[in-house]
Structure 1
Amino acid sequence: MKYIAFFSVFLTTMLSAQLSKFSDRDLYEMGKVWGLIKYYHPAVSQGKIDWDAVLLQSLKDGPKSGAGEMMVQWLATADQGKFEGLAKNDNGCDSITLRNFDISWIGKLKKVAPESKKRLLNIVTEPKNVGSFYSNPIENSIRFSSSNEKVYDKFSAEIKMLELFRIWNAIEYFYPYKYLLDHGWDDVLKKYIPVFRSIRNEQDYRSAVMRLAAELQDTHVGIENTFQYDVVGKLSSPFIFQIVDGKVLVTGIKDEAKMKKANLEVGDLITKINGRSILKSMDDKSGYFAYSNDAVKLREAYSYLFSSEEPAMVLEGIK
């Protein structure tokens, strides 16, 4: 047992140390620059360079002369890549479409030299030979495509940070309702860099992805093949219920023996779960699923309100 405990601590420490060479600010700027080059640079957007591999190697090696110099090297690597000359595809954008488009952050980069900022601006403002390796152009629009994105079975700190960058940039460049969010999408990247940095296992990862998806505040957002109950809890209530005026009304029985043991009956009104009001208990779980209004928040609560890893809860209410 001592050996297993030692190995577990050692593994956790190693995962924690992988990204310690970078500050949160480093990773924030790296994520934005990496995504811009991915979608706009001719060689990278045409799939001529394994852009995932460039980032993973940078995260593994750490900055030799600072994060800014490392991003300059990214540009050099991209510029050295071969690409095909493509016919110009003029997908015009009106002012409504462009409300999501903001490249002012390039001028605010702290880690990148002025000449590199000019190069990044030029890639965006005068796009040429931009490919569709990561997109699906159709008439009068360009849509996100994940068909060429790699799937990683290996678990590492670098891969998890890569996946944060991939998710964030896909929303940054392709999500049409980004302007409707209650918070800035830049702030979401800043918020989740330390979250993804602290991931230690697959359950941490599932939790982080669920919370990140919930930031979109979109009822249509869903996560396929995600073990949500590994995060919010695999156990649930032995009864069927409705939520009425911020309270839980027991309306049916799923496990009669457990109901009897808990002295619960159909018609009981539950006002608190483990000392917290029903609305507070809903808020505890609401950060794990996306919703655009209170009606959806209430609907989702039926799935998660009583989810737990603990075999017992303390319920208060009225019989």
Structure 2
Amino acid sequence: MHQQWHVVRSGHRKGVCEDQREDGGNAYVCRRGGKSDHHPSHQHHPCACSNQALCGRLAAHCLCCVRSQLFEHPRGTGGVFVMEHLDMSSCGSMQAQLGTDLGRLHQHNIGLLRACSAAESRITGKSPSERGGGGDGGNGSGAEGHDDVAVSGVEQFGFECTTCCGFLPQDNTWCASWPEFYARSRLQTQMDMLAENHGDREALQLWSEAQLKIDSFFRDVEVKPSLIHGDLWGGNVGQTATSPVVFDPASCYGHHEFDLGIGVMFGSFSPAFHNAYHKVVPKSPNFDKRTDLYQLFHHLNHWNHFGSGYRGSSISLLRSVAKGL
């Protein structure tokens, strides 16, 4: 198919070549990295995998995502990241619809798990607690293959491939515990990078205290895996003439509340978004107190991306988390 494309517009942005191409009436945007471009999404598959895996599961959840595919450059000079071109603008009038759609996405896997548990209870005559729970300890799905996952739901936290938040890869190794996954595979990874690149003693000392309090934020809360976007702020959403659109995900199966953290950080979403979302997903106990916990990852991630301008906010959030509930 790509052999029939023709270039409509070409240029450069932030050191990356970009072409807008057409093929059979469909439009695409191509980002091409060169030999010196070490962005993981150009040389490997994480960002493309994240986009493909997320978009492949959105149709049933009424949340539109920009489709994409990563190809090797035919001359071996990096990668070609091909994205669907949509005529979209910033998300304004459709924020309430975005909130509803995001809530449906977050509830979808939880609904599958509940339905599967109810069906198993009817068959065995035992409650979930009597059965002793589940989880295969491997791919997190409790089933073999994607078709079965679509029926039974995903039981663990993580993802089937490495994904990126910005240009930093994320460890998505499956884990049965969300607090453990979030502390190990999100916060600890960021703190390790800070230790290596900055050696900030105050931050490291506060983290040694904060990590002991993470479990306290989940008292009286049962966290089930939801497919989350992972980097949901105003710069990664838009709208077409018919629906809101999301893009640039940093996907995993995690706590649905995590998706709201970076939006609070940047003030990206209106009261209409939050009200619509919580009509679908009601707030759990101590919801507001977990906001700092989930903002912490994004401030640390920005510190690692952009430097010490985010140190002060990261230190403040580490102090807050270190107090626990």
TM-score, with structure 2 as normaliser: 0.25
TM-score, with structure 1 as normaliser: 0.26
Q: Structure with the greater relative contact order (CA < 8 A, sep ≥ 6): 1 or 2? A: 2
Task: Compare CA radii of gyration and give the structure with the larger one.
Answer: 1
